Amino acid sequence: MALYDLTIHEARALLDAGEISAVELTQAVLDRILTVDNNVRAYLTLTPELALEQARAADAARAYKDGPSSPLLGIPLAIKDVLCTAGIPTTCGSRILENFIPPYDATVVARLKAAGAVILGKTNTDEFAMGSSTENSAFFPTRNPWDLERVPGGSSGGSAAAVAAGECLGALGTDTGGSVRQPAALCGVVGLKPTYGRVSRYGLIAFASSLDQVGVLTRDVTDAAILFSVIAGYDPQDSTSMDVPVPDYTAALTGDIRGMRVGVPKEYFVPGMQPEVEAAVRAAVEKLAERGAEVIEVSLPHTDYALPVYYLLAPAEASANLARYDGVRYGLRVIGSSLEETYKQTRGQGFGPEVKRRIMLGTYALSAGYYDAYYLKAQKVRTLIKGDFDRAFEQVDVIVTPTSPTTAFRIGEKTDDPIQMYLSDIFTLSMNLAGICGISIPCGFDRQGLPIGLQVMGPALGEMAVLRVAYAYEQATDWHTRRPVLGR
Ligand code: GLN
């Protein structure tokens, strides 16, 4: 197998046995990027010299140390371009931050560096993470490695495509309404969205602060547990991060789910969903039953409201968060004839159409006279949605659903119809509204050879149960071992 196709844990074993060096591994991934990224276009910024320097440091550290090394020492990873990286451009896929170079690292980036990881570069994203296809990037769309005419999903589409295409061994993404899980599903990789507050958001450029969370994209569940263990934990610099001990998530990888209760919500098998997706997910539920899980039908009665609630709250929070881009402090500045003109020109030229749509929707929902009818009402319904999950998790340990109602769609297919695009996250949004955790793992392919994702959700801080079920499923199947045919 090519070095760039290894999982993190496979690479770790070879590195520790001295069979490969971090420099060889990093060079193999950089060569792979050179071969395929002109087609896939997963990266906005590449940092090859820095990566090789970090790889040399990792090799040196290993040479001086006895015993087991940090699981990420010398492992080449990619970072979604909404996470601040000191000295390296961080654009959020937006013209307004095109030339922004942060003076500091996001806590998650600092943690990866402290663990000895090699940082390859910054991956493409929908502008300010608003989107489900990476087509809202101000720079270029990323393509799906399984079919270059199709989208990789979004907004962490660059990270998902990079993992699928062998352009990194794992990546960080962010998930506000599905942006780690949906692209993971569409690219045939694993995507974990942790509980709200489990991972520090310090240095994550804010989209919707009550929903945003950093997650990981990897080739299998073991790698997700490894990477997540490194980034999880309390951070005094993020007041929303939880001061709760971090367990060893790899301890969840037992393969044993006998007696675990798996909920299947009847509201998640909707008309209009691609029949192959439904069939694959139902087959996956059967597999879990074969492995000894008890399958229980549950109800999440307010599911239908998740989409409208999300599209009131997320734009409302975004409209406030994005007020800081005024052309005065950082980012793009287009000087006008007055201060107000400078604001208008800067924002008018700096933001793309979807971001402007969200700012307008959000400002409207928050404005005097409409606040009670829209924003406040949406907050109340959010509480009902959370209540649905609280009740369901009294009966079951995890809930299993499709991740996305369809497999990867064609580039351009949904760009003219925002509602169609928004529907791509119909199964992922509720989890963010409820603040709970979940994962998407590969569970099959449609007739056109496009990957299908299975979503496993758990309660707040229920990542151990989620990883346990996901791993047991993965052990019983080989979907995660398939790789797209690209440039070979
Ligand atoms: N697709 C959803 C949106 O456009 C979710 C995005 C995300 O999770 N960042 O808002």
Per-residue pLDDT tens digits for 33-49: 999 999 999 999 999 99
Atom of ligand 1 nearest to the CA of 310: 10
Atom of ligand 1 nearest to the CA of 178: 8
Residue 189 has pLDDT above 60, yes or no: yes
State the DSSP string of 429-442: HHHHHHT-EEEEEE
Tens of pLDDT, residue by residue over 345-366, are: 999 999 999 999 999 999 999 9
Does residue 309 fall inside a structural domain?
Answer: no
Our mutation pick for probing the ligand 1 site, out of 82, 124, 136, 176, counting the most ligand atoms within 8 A of Cβ, is 176
What DSSP designation does 413 have? S
Our mutation pick for probing the ligand 1 site, out of 151, 155, 214, 361, counting the most ligand atoms within 8 A of Cβ, is 155
Atom of ligand 1 nearest to the CA of 432: 8
Tell me, what's the pLDDT at 487?
A: 60
Does residue 386 fall inside a structural domain?
Answer: no
Q: Which residues of 466-478 are buried (b: 16+ CB within 10 A; e: fewer)?
A: bbbbbbbbbbebe
Could you tell me which of 221, 230, 223, 227 has the C-alpha nearest to residue 442?
A: 221
Parallel, antiparallel or unpaired: strands 294-298 and 398-402: unpaired
Does residue 363 fall inside a structural domain?
Answer: no
Does residue 471 fall inside a structural domain?
Answer: yes
Between the CA of residue 381 and those of 13, 78, 267, 366, 384, what are the distances in Å? Answer: 48, 37, 17, 16, 5
How does residue 67 score in pLDDT terms, banded at 50, 70 and 90? low
- The dihedral formed by the CA atoms of 35, 41, 46 and 52, expressed in degrees to the nearest 10: -30
Residue 11 has pLDDT above 70, yes or no: yes
Query: Is there a contact between 468 and 257 (Cβ–Cβ < 8 Å)?
Result: yes
Tens of pLDDT, residue by residue over 282-303, are: 999 999 999 999 999 999 999 9
Could you tell me which of 178, 237, 242, 243 has the C-alpha nearest to residue 208?
A: 178
Structure tokens at 238: 């993020």
Does residue 365 fall inside a structural domain?
Answer: no
Q: How far is the CA of 22 from the centre of ligand 1 (A)?
A: 35
Range of the domain at 241: 3-263+394-481
Ligand 1: residues whose CB is within 6 Å? 129-132, 155, 175-179, 207, 314, 425
Q: How far is the CA of 159 from the centre of ligand 1 (A)?
A: 15
State the catalytic residues. 80, 155, 179
> Which residue's CA lies nearest to atom 4 of ligand 1?
131
Q: How far is the CA of 175 from the centre of ligand 1 (A)?
A: 7
Does residue 48 fall inside a structural domain?
Answer: yes
Q: How far is the CA of 9 from the centre of ligand 1 (A)?
A: 30
Residue 69 has pLDDT above 80, yes or no: no
Measured CA to CA, the distance from residue 168 to residue 389 in angstroms comes to: 35
Sheet containing strand 294-298, strands side by side: 43-46, 118-123, 76-80, 170-175, 213-218, 190-193, 437-445, 451-458, 398-402, 261-265, 294-298
Q: How far is the CA of 179 from the centre of ligand 1 (A)?
A: 5
Task: Read off the CATH number of the domain in which 167 is found.
Answer: 3.90.1300.10
Number of domains in the chain: 1
Tell me, what's the pLDDT at 472?
A: 98
| Burial tier of 356 (Cβ tally within 10 Å: 0-12, 13-18, 19+) | middle
Does residue 76 fall inside a structural domain?
Answer: yes
What would the mean pLDDT of 247-261 be, rounded to a whole number?
A: 97
Does residue 443 fall inside a structural domain?
Answer: yes
Atom of ligand 1 nearest to the CA of 422: 1
